[in-house]
Amino acid sequence: MSDSKIGLIGAGAIGRAHLVGAAGAKGVEIVGIADPNPAAQALAEEFSIPWFKDHRALIDETKPDGAIVATPNALHVPIALELIAAGTAVLVEKPITDSVDEGLRLGRAAADAEVPLLVGHHRRHNPIIRTARALVQGGQLGRLVSASVLATFLKHDAYFNEAWRRTPAAGPVLINLIHEIDLLRFVCGEIESLQAVTSNAIRGFEVEDTAATLLCFKSGAIATITLSDSAAAPWSWDLSSGENPAFPKTPVESHFLCGTEASIALPTLRMWRYPGERGWLQPLQDEEVRFDAANPYIEQMRHFGAVIRREEQPLTDAFDATRTLEVTLAVRDAARSGTTIRFG
């Protein structure tokens, strides 16, 4: 097996995570970085990778088998379409784009051209989440009753110096909640409807700082997600999971999945069940489910290499990611209208 040659387009915060992921993954080699920013040129030098000022120069000169699109969201679709036209496999960052129609258009273009396209919902590659999914879908919790997700953290004040981050183009619903919605879809199944409330009472920006979302799954299970970027609190995947070294790992649980036979908390994978007679008058017993820890960015990159070589199907294709986007976009609509939004 020869390594898949991959170009990185956009080398900002998540681009660096992809470089680290590629350095640890078997079967892939980063052959070039395209990003006009001088900081990206310095990053290319740090990793001893050729630097190009734009993605066309990178494609022409390195002829990669695949490319990662880690630019600002508005560029995801135009650049990915160019890659597809060149027959280059794509790993496009989340959100796939800003609108459902564009996401579907990209999915159809990739399918028509028979070019593989993977969307960077990296949490799906985390063994903790994959184990939780296997437990839920394998029936080890009995029938799923509910999920409670906490995504509460404090973005530092300087984060908001960039004006767009104070507008609806950013905000924790589009930037952060999308990860929780995708995690719940991946672990618990398809979402049928949602209701939501949002607030900007703490920061007073045009965009929300806090949101509460109520989701109903097709299975009949119910979930709540409490989200805030204005809370001095540790209960969020970013802080609890240790996935991203930029955030200090905090030993708390942030996700709780309850079934009729047992329940689990994440990221610990602590499972609670009745050892004997069931019922709230009896003691529950807990144990931590074993799993083999792995870095999801390395796992995602290994998978992308296999996708490029047509050895594996994309774990998150464009249509799947567009469904996550559709549910996420509906949160603000539901909050604005005060209605329940249903999905077909």
State which residue, 154 or 214, has the beta carbon closest to ligand NAD: 154
State which residue, 32 or 305, has the beta carbon closest to ligand NAD: 32
State which residue, 52 or 256, has the beta carbon closest to ligand NAD: 52
Q: Which residue ranges make up the site for ligand NAD (CB under 6 A)?
A: 9-15, 34-37, 40, 54-55, 70-73, 75, 93-94, 120, 122
State which residue, 120 or 305, has the beta carbon closest to ligand NAD: 120
Helix locations, the chain, DSSP H: 13-24, 38-46, 55-62, 76-85, 100-113, 127-137, 172, 178-188, 237-241, 296-308, 318-337
| Least distance between ligand NAD and beta carbon 143 (Å) | 31
Tokens standing for 184? 């719940």
State which residue, 68 or 335, has the beta carbon closest to ligand NAD: 68
CA distance 208 to 229: 9
Name the packing angle between helices 296-308 and 13-24 (round to 10°).
70
Q: Give the amino acid at 38.
A: P
**HSE-CB of 11 using CA atoms within 13 angstroms:** 28
**HSE-CB of 55 using CA atoms within 13 angstroms:** 24
Tokens standing for 223? 């979930």
State which residue, 75 or 145, has the beta carbon closest to ligand NAD: 75
State which residue, 34 or 335, has the beta carbon closest to ligand NAD: 34
State which residue, 262 or 317, has the beta carbon closest to ligand NAD: 317
260 touches 141 (CB < 8 A): yes
Q: Give the amino acid at 338.
A: G
Residue nearest to ligand NAD (CB): 12
CA distance 77 to 31: 22
CA distance 147 to 141: 12
Strands 285-288 and 210-217: unpaired
Which residues lie below 8 Å from residue 173, measured CB to CB, with a gap of 6+? 198, 208, 211, 227, 328, 331, 332
CA dist 226 to 60, 173, 207, Å? 46, 11, 16
Q: Can you state the percent helix, strand and coil of the chain, rounding each to 5? A: 40, 25, 35
